[in-house]
Every structure is written in C-alpha cells, then in structure tokens.
Amino acid sequence: MPYLNFSQQVKSELVRVQPDHLDCKRAELIALLQSAGALHIGVNGPSLEIKTENAALARKVVSYFRALGQNSTELLVEKETRLRKHNLYRVRMRVDLDQSDLSNTLITNILNKSVPDLGEECCRRSYLRGLFLGSGSIQHPERTYHLEIRFNDISFAEKVRTFLDQLGFNFGIVERRNEYLLYVKDGESVATFLTMAGAHKALLEMENIRIIKEIKNDVNRVVNCETANLEKTATASANQLKAIELLEENGWLTKLPQGCLEVARARKENPHASYVEIAEILGVGKSAVSYRLKKIEKEAEKIAMNRRNKDDNEE
C-alpha cells in the first residue's frame, strides 16, 4: 500500500463520507467543480470536467452525478507523462442546458464563481468538504498547524473567505504563484475545520499529537524555569560568598549582628543551598535569610567602595 501523507489521509477519509440527502451531495459536488473542475465547450456542446489522481474521488463524483440524475457521465483513465506516472482520472459530464436543472445550477455557480445559497448546516458542511477535496491541503500537526485551500480567482477566494467567516473561521488570504490561498494556522481552527468536514479519524490523531505537544511544552517550561532558578541561585551564592570573604579579610564580619553571622556561616557550609533551605537549617523565615544576606552584601560593597576611593586618591 503506498504511503499517504497527512493531507492525503484526510482526503482519503473525507472521500468516504456519504451524505444522506441529495442537497448535501449537490453542495459538495458544486464545491468540487468550483475548486477543481472546469467548463469545456466542444463540438458536442458544453461539458463539466474534474481531473484527479484520486480514484476514490473520481468514483465519488460519478456517483454524485448519477444520484442527481446525470447518467451521461464518463470516467476516463489516462497515464500521466510525468516521472511518477500515476493514473489521471477525468470525470466528464455532458451538459444539456434545456433539460437539466442540475446542469443549469452547476453552470451558473461555476461561471458566476459564487457560493451557493446553503440553508442547512449539513449542506454547509458538505460544501466545506468539497472545497477541501478539490483544492485543499493540510500540514502534519507534528510539524505545524496549517490548512489551506487554493483558488485561481481572487474574487471567488474572497467570497469563500466570507462564507468561512460566517462559519466562525478567520482565514487569511495570500497570493502565491498566480494562486490565491485561504489559510489558517492555529490548531483550534484546523480541528474545527476537520470536525465540520467530517474527518473525525484525522481529528483524533491531531488531538493526540496536540496533547503530546502540550505535555512536552509544559515539561520544557518547567525545566527551563528550574534551570533559570538554579543559575540565579548559583550566581547569588557566588556573590554572597565573595562578600563574606571580603568582610572576613577586613575583620568586619564579626562586627555584624549575630543573625548575619549565622547566615554567613550557613552560606559558607551550604554554597548551593536556596534561601528556603538555609531558612530551614537556621529555623527562621526565608525573608529573614534574604534580608541578612543583602545586609552582608551591602557591608561588603561599602568596603569595596572605600578601597576604590583610596586607590583613586593615591593615583
């Protein structure tokens, strides 16, 4: 079985979704034709055509045409000339403008490039599914959250964007290589899109990945926070030990209050301990430890400043 990327997996799941109502099938078919179809005018009259490498999608389009009363539908199989040489499926329906309401509806929506009037929620979901099957793609959620739908016409892209806004989405739009891409990049919107389109298996996979990502991010935040705290403690401890050493060299340490002497002794004996740990050793509060160590550093700074002033005067 060939490997399917995540985008292909989503389409493979969506192509198997079969709406119960004809109106939903019509809505999905219109979206497919608007996003991936073309209108041809030949010697035998106009025809609608969809090209796809997805055999299941080709069969779905044929079944929709026939379910909607279009029995003059052809399925052609061609071998691509590119290196991969995949089969290319062409679904073609001859258009009889005088006898088919469906033909008139499809032609009107394709030529006008307009979003049809979709009154029911199920029809809007079907239309959404058709758009994605026709020209959508999605990145694997392990890499990034990114879903997009491509269009050749900026006017139609804007109309679809308005339709998506009405469904509660907030799609951006960008031009790339003569195409117009509607896209979303946040996980919540991508998950909602998959839900509405009917890709529930893909949604579960995405949610599992999102949970693992969140756990990893939480662990990283905790580790980074603990690392930062350890570095902060180590830096503070080194500065305090230097201050204590300076006070001892100049005979000032014993002139400090008894509490400061006790904290200085505890710091020397426990150079890597936190304020909380020193407080537990001495049986005092953390704030008391902090205050006394700051006092030691201030007294040491006075000595250091006096030395600098003396050196400046001698120069």
> In this structure, is residue 26 part of a structural domain?
yes
> In angstroms, rounded to a whole number, what is the distance separating the alpha carbons of residues 189 and 195?
10
pLDDT-derived band at 224 (thresholds 50, 70, 90) equals confident
Beta carbons within 10 angstroms of residue 56's beta carbon: 15
> In this structure, is residue 226 part of a structural domain?
no
Beta strands 87-94; 136-138: pairing state: unpaired
Residues 97, 244 share a domain: no
Q: Taking a C-beta distance cutoff of 8 angstroms, is the pair 166, 193 a contact?
A: no
Residues 248, 190 share a domain: no
Does 124 score more than 90 pLDDT?
Answer: yes
Does 298 score more than 80 pLDDT?
Answer: yes
Indicate the range of 11-15, 84-88, 220-224 predicted with least confidence: 84-88
Structural Rg of the chain based on CA atoms: 35
> In this structure, is residue 74 part of a structural domain?
yes
- Contacts from 1-9 at CB under 8 Å and sequence distance 24+? 5/140, 6/138, 6/139, 6/140, 6/141, 6/202, 7/136, 7/137, 7/138, 7/139, 9/202
> In this structure, is residue 283 part of a structural domain?
yes
Residues 251, 191 share a domain: no
> With a threshold of 0.75, does the pTM exceed it?
no
Residues 242, 105 share a domain: no
> What are the pLDDT digits (tens) for 277-287?
888 988 888 89
Q: What is the pLDDT of residue 1?
A: 47
Residues 174, 80 share a domain: yes
Residues 178, 68 share a domain: yes
Indicate the range of 20-34, 36-50, 185-199 predicted with least confidence: 36-50
Strand partners, 41: 46
> What are the pLDDT digits (tens) for 136-194?
999 998 888 999 999 988 989 999 999 999 999 999 999 988 899 999 999 899 999 99
Residues counted in the chain: 315
Q: What is the pLDDT of residue 122?
A: 93
Q: Which CATH number characterizes residue 194's domain?
A: 3.10.28.10
More confident residue, 269 or 86: 269
Which burial class, exposed, middle or buried, applies to 122 when counting CB atoms under 10 A from its CB (0-12, 13-18, 19+)?
middle
- Across the range 216-239, mean pLDDT stands at 81
Q: What is the pLDDT of residue 299?
A: 84
Residues 120, 173 share a domain: yes
> In this structure, is residue 218 part of a structural domain?
no
Residues 240, 171 share a domain: no
Residues 179, 90 share a domain: yes
Domain count of the chain? Answer: 2
> In this structure, is residue 165 part of a structural domain?
yes
Mean pLDDT score of the chain:
84
Residues 301, 175 share a domain: no
Residues 125, 178 share a domain: yes
Task: Write down which residue in 157, 175, 198 finishes a domain.
Answer: 198
Residues 263, 174 share a domain: no
- What is the domain range of residue 52? 6-198
> What are the pLDDT digits (tens) for 64-79?
888 887 777 778 887 7
Q: Taking a C-beta distance cutoff of 8 angstroms, is the pair 244, 251 a contact?
A: no
> In this structure, is residue 251 part of a structural domain?
yes
> In this structure, is residue 1 part of a structural domain?
no
pLDDT-derived band at 314 (thresholds 50, 70, 90) equals low
